[in-house]
Chain A
Amino acid sequence: MSEPTLSRILYVEDDDDIREIVKMSLEMLGRFQVAACDSCAAALSLVDEFSPELLLLDVMMPEVDGPATLRALRERVSAESAPAIFITARVEASDMQRYRKMGVLDVIVKPFDTVRLPGQIEQIWRHHRSSLNDNGG
């Protein structure tokens, strides 16, 4: 059986400029389907219909931050069907440890090269899939 490929990404980022450029990069260069939105509430309204295979979440957002958004989304979609990646400019060791404890696949640090981003996400996804296979998942 062939390995499933990553297709649908739900992306939550409150900064309009970054959201637009990342969506463009993921769609044009990565050929992913991307549902992009600016808040936890918007993500919750999209998640059931879009049925994402990956959650890509900015950490620092007003009102509901990335970790809280992930907790809210986990009520609707499991880590098995849609693992998560955080994006953050905040890279203190204690924060990274906290994010990883939440079960995210990886943390992408801002600023990032938007041309390389689709490949970076693909690589994280493949690593995740191969870990599942190694563990009989």
Chain B
Amino acid sequence: MTTADEEYSREFARLSATFAAQLPRQVQVLSDDLDAWLLAPGDMARLDTLSHKVHQLKGAGGTFGCSGVSDAARAVEQYLAELRGDVSNASASAMDQIEAAMETLRGEANRISAESAQGGQRRLQT
């Protein structure tokens, strides 16, 4: 391994830990944004912003090797796309699906954040 590789690995680990630590908060913001949009589903600008944030999380999750986060974000993104334009006729099951996908995302975020914190703790102890 070259010095550049080692340096990159260290920086990647640092950024990954920061990403993991911020995940639960990031997902909470998405969840709040989703709730706000559901109160005013005609607000397409809000839906666009929400969809974009979910899209970013999908990409960032994959880039940092958190495939569970990426997959869950992809599901939320797909449900949002399906609701677009037809939200007034959205069935209760569609709403349940998006809530369930968001719950999966929350669970993944909490798991990764906890695992990352434990890993950091272990590194501090050794």
Query: Which residues does A use to contact B, with CB under 8 Å?
Result: 14-15, 17-18, 20-22, 24-25, 28-29, 31, 60, 62, 89, 110-112, 114-115
- Least CB distance from B11 to A in Å reads 5
Main secondary structure of the interface of A (DSSP, over half): loop
Q: A88 — nearest CB in chain B belongs to which residue?
A: B59
List 18 A–B pairs whose Cβ atoms lie within 8 Å, in order of A's numbering.
Answer: A14-B56, A17-B15, A17-B63, A18-B56, A18-B63, A20-B15, A24-B8, A24-B12, A28-B4, A31-B4, A62-B48, A89-B59, A89-B62, A110-B62, A110-B63, A111-B59, A111-B61, A114-B12
Complex Cα gap A24–B49 (Å): 27
Distance in angstroms from B9 CB to nearest chain A CB is 9
- From A14, A25, A28, A110, residue with most partner B Cβ within 10 Å: A28
Bound-state Cα–Cα, A13 to B118, Å:
31
Query: In the complex, are the beta carbons of B11 and A89 less than 8 A apart?
Result: no
CB-nearest residue of chain A relative to B56? A15
A49 to chain B, nearest CB (A): 27
Whether A29 pairs with B4 at a CB distance below 8 angstroms is yes
Query: What secondary structure prevails in chain B residues at the interface with A?
Result: helix
Q: Which residues of A contact B7 (CB under 8 A)?
A: 28
Q: Would you call B56 and A21 a contact (CB within 8 A)?
A: no
Inter-subunit contact A89/B8 (CB<8 Å) = no
3 nearest interchain CB pairs? Answer: A111-B62, A28-B8, A15-B56
Whether A89 pairs with B64 at a CB distance below 8 angstroms is no
List residues of chain B with CB within 8 A of the CB of A22: 63
Contact B55 A114 (CB under 8 A): no
B79: CB under 8 A from chain A?
Answer: no
- What mask results when residues 15 to 29 of chain B are scored 1 for a CB within 8 Å of chain A, else 0? 100010000000000
- Collect the chain A residues with CB atoms within 8 Å of residue B113's CB: none
- Beta-carbon nearest neighbor of A89 in chain B: B59
Q: Which residues of A contact B62 (CB under 8 A)?
A: 89, 110-112
Inter-chain contacts of A115 with B (CB < 8 A) = 8
Known: A17-B15, A17-B64, A18-B60. A60 touches B8 (CB 8 A): no
**CB-CB under 8 A for A89 and B15, given A21-B63, A114-B63:** no
